[in-house]
Amino acid sequence: MMAWLRTGFLLGLMAMLAGCGGAGPDGFDPLPRQATVLAFGDSVTHGTGAGAGDDYPTRLAAITGWTIINDGVPGDRASSARERLAPSLRAHEPDLVLIWLGGNDFLRQRDPAAVKEDLRALVEMAREHSAQPVLLGVPRASALGAATGRLRDDPIYRELAREEQVPLIEGVLSGVLSASELRADPVHPNARGYRRIATDIAEALDDLGFWLAS
């Protein structure tokens, strides 16, 4: 009887742990080499803090071989980005959309719940255009937290990834901005930081199945 109870407990624990796994799905099919990827975001996507050609989309394109469109607008917020995503999707017809927004919303003290709903709208918009969205996490109040070296992505990204079953790449910007040698200022990477970002995103996309590292 005790052995049966012990077995039941272990099975239940395993089920609980399985339910507490990754925030979003994985196991996607690899994109072809001729795929088009839309890097959609703010100044971090644009490459502010480094020179021309040092932005992460350019470096990610060199790693993966994909055509990667840099659609990063400095100062953009998740709310204002809703107005420009649809035209960008129509113009480029991407296979994959890397959505990296929220930092400027947090710096302006917007309600995280409202930011989450703006991000949800961007995810839905990408899907409506037959593109696969991928979320990238952003830390809140990075201008203050970077000095402590303990930045963490805001919880809304994990919540949204679970709710919408959208793949999430976590900890990339938090990790770079937590290292003084990788940032140009408290909220922007430098050239070394963008190289790290491109490598980390490539590895995460490989783990998700979108890209098979050779």
Strand 183-185, strand 188-189: pairing: antiparallel
And the tokens for 119? 């991000």
Residue given tokens 């918009």 in the structure block? 125
The pLDDT, as a whole number, for residue 145 is 53
Mean pLDDT of the chain: 88
134-161 pLDDT, tens per residue? 999 999 864 445 455 679 999 999 999 9
Computed over its alpha carbons, how large is the radius of gyration of the chain?
A: 18
Q: Tell the burial category of 9 from Cβ atoms under 10 Å away from its Cβ (0-12, 13-18, 19+).
A: exposed
Choose between 12 and 63: higher pLDDT: 63
Dump pLDDT digits (tens) for 30-88. 999 999 999 999 999 999 999 999 999 999 999 999 999 999 999 999 999 999 999 99
pLDDT at 7: 37
CA 120 to chain CA centroid, nearest Å? 13
> What integer is the mean pLDDT of 110-134?
97
- 99 near 136, Cβ under 8 Å? yes
Tell me what the mean pLDDT of segment 174-191 comes to: 94
* Residue ranges of E strands in 77-138: 96-100, 132-136
Which range is least confidently modeled, 90-94, 115-119, 133-137, 177-181? 177-181
In the prediction, which pLDDT does 140 show?
84
Strands (E), the chain: 36-41, 67-72, 96-100, 132-136, 168-169, 183-185, 188-189
The 8-class DSSP code of residue 148 comes to: G
Tokens of 205: 């996309």
Note the pLDDT of residue 212. 82
Euclidean distance between CA atoms 17 and 34, whole angstroms = 38
Residue 144 CA to residue 107 CA, distance in Å, equals: 10
Q: How many CB atoms lie within 10 A of CB 58?
A: 16
Q: How far apart are the C-alpha atoms of 160 and 156, rounded to whole Å?
A: 6
Rounded Cα distance, 173 and 197, in Å: 7
Report percent pLDDT > 70 for the chain.
85
Domains of the chain: residue spans and CATH? 29-208 (3.40.50.1110)
The whole-number average pLDDT for the span 93-105 is 97
Residues near 28 by beta carbon (within 8 Å), at least 6 away in sequence: 132, 167, 208, 209, 210
| Structure confidence at residue 5 as a pLDDT band (50, 70, 90) | very low
**pLDDT range class, residue 29, cuts 50, 70, 90:** very high
Percent of the chain with pLDDT over 90: 79
In DSSP terms, which residues pair with 37 in a beta bridge?
68, 96
What per-residue confidence (pLDDT) applies to 25?
87
CA–CA gap between residue 114 and residue 167 (Å, rounded): 20
Q: Give me the pLDDT at residue 149, please.
A: 64
